[in-house]
Amino acid sequence: MGALSHIKVLDLSRVLAGPWASQLLGDLDADVIKIEKPGSGDDTRGWGPPWLADGEGQPTTDAAYFLCTNRNKRSLTVDITRPEGQQIVRELATDADVVLENFKVGGLAAYGLDYASLAALNPRLVYCSITGFGQDGPYAPRAGYDFLIQGMGGLMSLTGRADDEEGAGPQKVGVALTDILTGLYACNAIQAALLHREQSGQGQHIDLALLDVQVACLANQAMNYLVSGKAPRRMGNAHPNIVPYQDFPTADGDMILAIGNDGQFARFSTIAGKPEWTSDERFATNAARVKHRAELIPLLRQTTVMRSTAEWITALENAAVPCGPINDLAGVFADPQVIHRGLRRDLPHAAGGTAPQVGNPIHFSATPVEYRRAPPVLGQDTDAVLRELGRDDAAIAVLRDAGIV
């Protein structure tokens, strides 16, 4: 029995932030029912190539993007714009613990599937709404997308080469990080609301906005601004508060140095054959190194190019100086630590063959994560879920013929 094996989740969300939250709840053993539009389903099913291959090596209609965030779910096709479809969702919500949705503000009220309508049927319901800008405020009616929010929320002002470097300019992060972080916040908030319900008996509405999450996750950079009044600028791979903490060239490529204290810097200086750096007042402390960054970094680059990446990593790891390679994804999934931790999984898929998955990073001692279901094909569980609601085969056939499921 997983940690959330007693929880039923009704997932009306699409694309990434909401499905990321519901996948995590599913990994924790919640019963997640994914509501999808008949005929097309979640938008990300079509966000390919690449496409998942079936048992004969032929491409399916499900994109890799969809596979990243929809395991451990059951797929139920329902047209929520039709009264009969709305009734199915209401019946499911009556018995559900959680509803998760990411429609525009007020979008589900027209169908009687908003929080107020469903909470009237099930006061214990925890209802999580994910939007770009929240349920109120001047931007509430706007649609929100990860790329847009990375720009508006300040992340792109901090990401990319410095203004005085070739190729300077704002950059988005290479994955939809704001969506991912919002999914994690949503999962955390849902579980907190469930714990509150255990004591109060009452559910509640969770209002979660991508913009709020992005600003909250600016972390030390936000505080650097709030304390100093000066907006941080792009610094490439450098760190605003720690030196050296960035990439450096080697004889055959690049490596990362992540030196977080003066003791580590002293050990690095010895291994690099530059023990005098430790006693140089410009470099002896981190505060001094930050101040004299422009003098130290060129000296470091002149030194690191004298050995290969592997030689540096071996020498520095033996001295407990944090360092590492810059892997592509082939290197990531071939890394012995990644392999040991089980971060690649292959699950049997309904279309035949297997669906590769990236493992959940949580390791419980008593309620381990289970990989029960590959991401479902569209409508894979429609009949089963409808039978649980009391529909017989004839009633299901009528719904299907009418295009409701």
Amino acid at 392: D
User: How many other C-beta atoms lie within 10 A of the C-beta of residue 165?
Assistant: 12
Round to whole Å and give the CA distance between 182 and 217: 10
Round to whole Å and give the CA distance between 61 and 57: 13
Amino acid at 62: D
**Helix, strand, coil fractions of the chain, as percent rounded to 5:** 40, 15, 45
Please give the span between the terminal C-alpha atoms of the chain, in angstroms, as a whole number: 31
Burial of residue 364 (number of CB atoms within 10 Å: 0-12, 13-18, 19+)? exposed
For the chain, give the number of residues.
405
Instruction: Give the C-alpha distances (Å, rounded to integers) separating 146 from 131, 152, 180.
Output: 11, 10, 9
Which has the closest alpha carbon to 73: 105, 46, 47, 41? 41
Which has the closest alpha carbon to 178: 143, 217, 146? 146
Phi, psi of 306 (to 5 degrees): -85, -10
Radius of gyration of the chain (CA): 25
Round to whole Å and give the CA distance between 286 and 282: 9
Round to whole Å and give the CA distance between 304 and 312: 8
Round to whole Å and give the CA distance between 317 and 383: 56
> Three-state DSSP class for 327?
coil
Round to whole Å and give the CA distance between 214 and 288: 31
Amino acid at 120: A
Phi, psi of 334 (to 5 degrees): -95, -5
Which has the closest alpha carbon to 342: 368, 376, 317? 368
Catalytic site residue from 179, 207, 212, 381: 179
DSSP H or E segment with residue 254:
strand 253-258
Is residue 179 annotated as part of the catalytic site, yes or no? Answer: yes
User: Which of the residues are catalytic?
Assistant: 179
